[in-house]
Structure 1
């Protein structure tokens, strides 16, 4: 694929007021979520769950792309159309998760390295043929007073660089996701310190791997207090620290930053995104979202696995996507949050 096409795709994924639906949960993860509502997890029920989002009328107004899992990208809709085509007809670009998960890092305690590079070139070629036009790889960084180690940061940054290079070779836009976990009691200051180190290492690795920055997106976590930290930072404090860190470490050539929600509640993730976009500071890249649970949870609760509540699930998803689309423009309000879905 020509460089111009990759840049076009990257910019389309961060179009005004739009963000990405992360629907790339593994089978065990989706099964856990469905089972919590007493929904049997089968290939058909998982397809119906994803199809609820993909066929929501008007979803393309706020959703630019959807990250799929290997099972999903191979499935047809209930009407027999490939799910990738269902998305494309909505104006939503199909993407694919390509890492095989975080595994224990040899010689380290309580740290992981993300695997999946073996055979990746051939898998990317196949996924492109199945309709994917971008990909995602997630690195996981745990925070304590001692962690992460420089080894953990560097091996994960190197893997992200190699993945991104293979994606661009295959004609796919790489979404580079270094997630600094919310788990733990660390302060927002410690989160900012670690995130800065991680982003510095990641962009060094991307430079070493000759990544064309205009052809990629960054999917970072926000600068936020650890879940068990007794002093939880305010929405404005999170916004200020997050934008400060990004301005220091993310090159201007990158078209966009699409945050992960990382375990935040759906409403809080929207509030944080909105506050970041409302800050009166220059930023060279678009700032949007690539949320999973923060887009799906309300819809899952509304649907409950019942055919007669399928439309209610779609209405809930549309409302959540609309709120996040507004937050990507800094226009989210309490009135919009409280509005009844269409």
Structure 2
């Protein structure tokens, strides 16, 4: 029989509540940058980039060092184990780069998804309510998140985003494995971050200036979260 789990102290409960509130503050969501080495290989190969540690580091640095326009949009970043120990060009560990922009750092600790009662095959995890893009295109993910937040129902929780592909597809395509494309790729990332910041408040209106991959399906057969 497993030993009983110790109860949290009032101080620990407050700390957890404060962390959750920071991550899903109005207009903020999560950048899921926790692709495994194998998963990110598929993304890199799609733009002709070799799956090396340096390319993985450079691409993630591109996201983490985007300018301050993303600061009101990203409350937390989920990292892969490797990324926790990588550094930016200026010598700062990536977790510090992220914290310097006001976001919280974490790693994936759930064990996957479980069936959601009363639905036809939908699944859920249990930490807050975040909308996963699930293979939708960038624009679909923003529009659907916006529609959910415009639904006139009482919600006792914030409903925000935890997007990987739906925040990165256009940025990845613009980068194409070339360091000279860093700035244009960061612009694509910022554009999606701003769109989803509005969508999680029910305020998103398509601008007609979507990125190069905004309408492309991001569906991956048999993808495992």
TM-score by length of 1: 0.55
Per-residue deviation, 1:6: 1.0
Q: How does 1:19-34 map to 2 (within 5 A)?
A: 19-34=29-44
Match for residue 85 of structure 1?
96
Match for residue 85 of structure 2?
74
Residue 7 (str. 1) matches residue 17 (str. 2):
yes
Residues 209-263 of structure 1 show CA distances to partners (whole Å, capped at 9, x for unaligned) of xxxxxxx32xxxxxxxxxxxxxxxxxxxxxxxxxxxxxxxxxxxxxxx1111111
SS in 2 for 1:192: coil
Match for residue 55 of structure 2?
45
SS in 2 for 1:296: helix
Q: Separation in 1 of the partners of 2:46 and 2:130? A: 28
Q: How does 1:113-262 map to 2 (within 5 A)?
A: 136-140=109-113, 178=114, 192-195=119-122, 216-217=127-128, 257-262=129-134
For structure 1, list consecutive stretches of 5 or more residues without a partner in the other structure.
98-135, 141-177, 181-189, 204-215, 218-256
Q: Is the 8 A contact 1:65 1:94 kept in 2?
A: yes
Match for residue 298 of structure 1?
170
Residues 16-64 of structure 1 show CA distances to partners (whole Å, capped at 9, x for unaligned) of 0010000000001111110121101111110111111100002212011
Match for residue 142 of structure 2?
270
Q: Separation in 2 of the partners of 1:339 and 1:271? A: 12
Residues 195-222 of structure 1 show CA distances to partners (whole Å, capped at 9, x for unaligned) of 3xx66xx77xxxxxxxxxxxx32xxxxx
Q: Is the 8 A contact 1:68 1:94 kept in 2?
A: yes
Residues 83-110 of structure 1 show CA distances to partners (whole Å, capped at 9, x for unaligned) of 000000011111102xxxxxxxxxxxxx
Match for residue 319 of structure 1?
191
Per-residue deviation, 1:77: 1.2
CA RMSD of aligned residues (A): 2.1
SS in 1 for 2:112: strand
Q: Is the 8 A contact 1:139 1:179 kept in 2?
A: no
If each structure's helix is expressed as a fraction of its own residues, which one has the higher value? 1
Q: Separation in 2 of the partners of 1:269 and 1:339? A: 13
Which structure exhibits the higher relative contact order, with contacts defined as CA atoms closer than 8 Å and separated by 6 or more residues? 2
SS in 2 for 1:338: coil
Computing the radius of gyration over CA atoms, which structure comes out larger, 1 or 2? 1
Q: Is the 8 A contact 2:115 2:121 kept in 1?
A: no
Match for residue 110 of structure 1?
none
Residue 279 (str. 1) matches residue 141 (str. 2):
no
Match for residue 124 of structure 1?
none
For structure 2, list consecutive stretches of 5 or more residues without a partner in the other structure.
1-10, 212-225
Q: Separation in 2 of the partners of 1:179 and 1:53? A: 32
Q: Separation in 1 of the partners of 2:152 and 2:191? A: 27
Q: Separation in 2 of the partners of 1:54 and 1:310? A: 12
Match for residue 332 of structure 1?
204
Q: Separation in 1 of the partners of 2:85 and 2:204? A: 36
Check 1:264–1:191 CA distance in 2 against 1; reply closer, same or farther (3 A cut).
farther
Q: Is the 8 A contact 2:26 2:201 kept in 1?
A: yes
Per-residue deviation, 1:194: 3.7
Moved over 4 A (4+): none
SS in 2 for 1:22: strand
Per-residue deviation, 1:5: 1.0
In structure 1, which of residues 289, 309, 312 is the aligned counterpart of residue 181 of structure 2? Answer: 309
The aligned length equals 200
